[in-house]
Structure 1
Amino acid sequence: MIFVNQLYIYPIKSMQGIQLTKANTVDGGFEHDRILMLSEPDGTFITARQHPELLKIKTSIVKNEVHISLSPTEIIIFNLDEFSLNYEPTEIWGNHFTSLIAPIRINQFFSQILHKDVQLRWVGQQLTRRTKRYPDIPVSFADGYPYLLLNKASFDYLQQQCPEKLDIRLFRGNIIIQGALPFAEDGWKTIKIGNVIFDIVKPCSRCVITTMNIKSAIFLADNEPIKTLRYFRADKQGEIDFGMNMIARNHGTISVHDKIEVLERQPAKNYIKTFPPEIKTEAKVCTINFENQIIKANNKQTILEQLEQHKIALPYSCRAGICGRCLVELKQGEVEALTQAAIRRNNKILACSCVPKGDITIKLLKK
């Protein structure tokens, strides 16, 4: 029997989640899930991608009262009724909508933590944001869709392949199921949990957040588990998937141990299988010339990882060859692409998804 194993909500985007025994589906997702979010003063969203320390902040919420704690001495309590009454422009991944801004004392609390001016925002009682593909479906501050389903068997398979010890909470799912075969969820289209019917919209593309230890906010070694997922969960465009985004057709309550019924199936997405060979070879020593700074390198790690090890920072967001922020110009030498999208026109390459074959020279792109 396939059943619900765990349920989670994340009241503030990118901060610690809360494990539940039952959860109510409401407009936008589970009740209280990702209803709050940090933003730049202009409304642009802020996440643990840029500020990993957010993962260590604990949250709890009862009715309209929110408790935030970074440590036993760094605590703030506030009520949602304290937020402004004026809806202000807000943006997540190019999706524009409006939200309400917290009072000064709350914004100052988070600004001190991040050492920059930020605002805490609330979706409000009336959600103005809609999913891109489903204009009638409201969504809170989640990246794209109201619900994320994870299969425990799929996670266990990943753990068997991955050399790093993983925590399923890395993937920030709402509904974790058990009893299905690994990646059986790839072929599901519509499921029923309790009295709630969910439509599976698309696989969830993964990013750098999955490579962070949720307790220490320190990156796991060797860009895991993205590196391992790339071997068997990357599509032709280089996107790396794990978990399924969902929308709900109706409101209701689902609980741990609820049975999951598959109502409709669909063809599974095709992934490129590129597992590395079992024979291990020693790394070849080479150099990376970055803006006339020469560093010792090898032909086993990505350019981005090796620059970071020498305290050289490049802009990035996903670390999976999706966002394109780490694009540089290859002036000399050859690289091996880990995804099809890693090598672009005019000698442009993604530092997160290219490995040097030998000595290379790279430069930042002119703005």
Structure 2
Amino acid sequence: MSQSEFEHQNELERKLAKIEATLGLAPIGLENKQDAVLSQINVYPVKSITGIELSSSWVEKQGLSFDRRFMVADMNGRMVTAREHHQMVRIKSALTASGLVLTYPEAKESLHLRFDEFENQEVECQVWNDTFSAYSTHPKANDWASFVIGKPVQILFTGEQSNRQREKIQTNVSFADGYPLLLASQASLDELNARSPEGIAHSMAQFRPNIVVSNTEAFAEDGWKRIRIGEVEFEIVKPCMRCVLTTVNPKTAMRSEKNEPLNTLAKFRADETGGIFFGQNVIAKNEGLIRAGDVVEVLETKEKEFYPDTSQDVVEVEPVKKITISIDGNLFEGDNQSTLLEQAEKAGVPVANSCRSGFCGTCKMTLESGKVDQPDMPALFPGEIDEGKVLACCCVPKTDVELVS
């Protein structure tokens, strides 16, 4: 091509670009930027069990219809979850016109939960620090769940409208941990998998989101404040801090020996307190219908949270050292590598626990002597670390230690 021909072609391209800009067209040869879309809708009829993917769902203020409307609880009404009883992730469910059917591989029969057979007696129950009234289902349901869990438990129902009011967000909530809905993007999971150790691929099921969006950049949801999907406007309230349940394989119920994905997420999705975040807690501003394939319209944005990326940092590995651990007078040999709770369980020493991630405070103890590495976690109130309070689930002993519960 001669110089004059080259200049002539450039002039034609400039004129064409000007025409395209005037008409609002994308440049020829380039794909139009795709809109973010709703790619998955998931409900978890019973808290901590396998989810069900839907093609559409009715959204209520208390969450998606059928989402976490049932909960396994101990006989005192306190929640029982897969954080402690990993086998719960192998319970599957199917929605029916009359209620719900639950199946478990080792159970001889499936459980048919029929609304018209419920006792509907008020039962005081507890989800984290929230105490409220739920309703009994049926003795057969309790027996079935007790077989799965391995101890006496009951299955509770929220009722058509949950009695659990959360003043912090000015709405009622089902048996979900704290917020009605959880949103995550496929690109964020792809980014996690790209950073994870070779041979490890995580599934979205490990994070248990209700809403999964596609056609975004990784963690684009961090910068969303208000969005609209279908007939519903949503408010993104806060990032979701993740717990040990993400390390449980949804198919096998086995926990990751490498503590993945938490170890990888800790390198680029942790704040200054050590909290690890993936996904966003969401509330619905109105009721309405959403469908898989709906466009996600971003109505308002916000500044993203900052998480330092330490994945390239060189970390000096502390050599393993044998130490002596005493919990309420129970002596056993441990090391300076694993959490106090993990070592106590391995030694057969009972320690009360629930969330295993520093949220609930159930495993809080007093350090009488010795040193531990205790990150500042939500369950520790201001000044408690200075007073010698530690959380067995997330503190690591560094010397011989003595603790009392």
TM over 0.5: yes
Taking the aligned partners of 1:193 and 1:276, their CA distance within structure 2 comes to 38
- Please tell me whether residue 208 in structure 1 is matched to residue 244 in structure 2: yes
Mean Cα deviation higher: 205-214 or 277-286: 277-286
Contact between 2:226 and 2:301, CA under 8 Å: does it hold in 1?
A: yes
Look up the match of 1:12.
46
Identity among equivalent pairs (%): 36
Of 150, 154, 160, 2:188 maps to 154
SS in 1 for 2:258: helix
Taking the aligned partners of 1:324 and 1:182, their CA distance within structure 2 comes to 33
Contact between 1:6 and 1:177, CA under 8 Å: does it hold in 2?
A: yes
Query: Partner letter of residue 206 of structure 1?
Result: R
Look up the match of 2:339.
302
- Please tell me whether residue 355 in structure 1 is matched to residue 389 in structure 2: no
Change (3 A) 1:265 1:361: same
Of 244, 265, 281, 1:229 maps to 265
Shift of 1:33: 1.0
Look up the match of 1:97.
132
Aligned pairs for 1:265-280 within 5 A: 265-275=301-311, 277-278=313-314
Change (3 A) 1:340 1:100: closer
Query: Partner letter of residue 325 of structure 1?
Result: T
SS in 2 for 1:54: helix
Mean Cα deviation higher: 286-295 or 258-267: 286-295
Look up the match of 1:63.
97
Taking the aligned partners of 2:60 and 2:189, their CA distance within structure 1 comes to 27
Contact between 2:99 and 2:112, CA under 8 Å: does it hold in 1?
A: yes
Deviations 1:226-265 (A, max 9, x none): 2332333333444322111111122222222211111001
Aligned pairs for 1:231-246 within 5 A: 231-246=267-282
Taking the aligned partners of 1:134 and 1:339, their CA distance within structure 2 comes to 25
Taking the aligned partners of 1:73 and 1:87, their CA distance within structure 2 comes to 30
Of 42, 48, 54, 2:82 maps to 48
Shift of 1:311: 4.4
Change (3 A) 1:363 1:9: same
Taking the aligned partners of 1:281 and 1:238, their CA distance within structure 2 comes to 18
Taking the aligned partners of 1:29 and 1:320, their CA distance within structure 2 comes to 24
SS in 2 for 1:235: coil
Look up the match of 1:293.
331
Taking the aligned partners of 2:377 and 2:139, their CA distance within structure 1 comes to 46
Taking the aligned partners of 2:183 and 2:97, their CA distance within structure 1 comes to 25
User: Which residues of structure 2 form unaligned runs of 5+?
Assistant: 1-34
Look up the match of 2:72.
38
Taking the aligned partners of 1:272 and 1:319, their CA distance within structure 2 comes to 24
Taking the aligned partners of 2:190 and 2:136, their CA distance within structure 1 comes to 41
User: Which residues of structure 1 form unaligned runs of 5+?
Assistant: none
Taking the aligned partners of 1:231 and 1:339, their CA distance within structure 2 comes to 17
Query: Partner letter of residue 339 of structure 2?
Result: T
Contact between 1:302 and 1:355, CA under 8 Å: does it hold in 2?
A: yes
Look up the match of 1:121.
156
Q: TM-score, normalised by structure 2?
A: 0.81
Of 352, 372, 383, 1:315 maps to 352
Mean Cα deviation higher: 140-149 or 278-287: 278-287
- Please tell me whether residue 185 in structure 1 is matched to residue 185 in structure 2: no
Shift of 1:279: 6.0
Q: How well do the aligned residues superpose, as a CA RMSD in angstroms?
A: 2.6
Look up the match of 2:30.
none
Contact between 2:128 and 2:360, CA under 8 Å: does it hold in 1?
A: no
Mean Cα deviation higher: 346-355 or 249-258: 346-355
Contact between 1:238 and 1:322, CA under 8 Å: does it hold in 2?
A: no
Aligned pairs for 1:252-263 within 5 A: 252-263=288-299
Deviations 1:60-106 (A, max 9, x none): 11233211111273312131121124433222122222222112222
Deviations 1:159-203 (A, max 9, x none): 233334322111110011112222221111100112211011111
Contact between 2:120 and 2:137, CA under 8 Å: does it hold in 1?
A: no
Shift of 1:216: 1.7
SS in 2 for 1:314: coil
Change (3 A) 1:51 1:192: same
Query: Partner letter of residue 160 of structure 2?
Result: Q
Change (3 A) 1:27 1:323: closer
- Please tell me whether residue 3 in structure 1 is matched to residue 37 in structure 2: yes
Taking the aligned partners of 1:22 and 1:328, their CA distance within structure 2 comes to 46
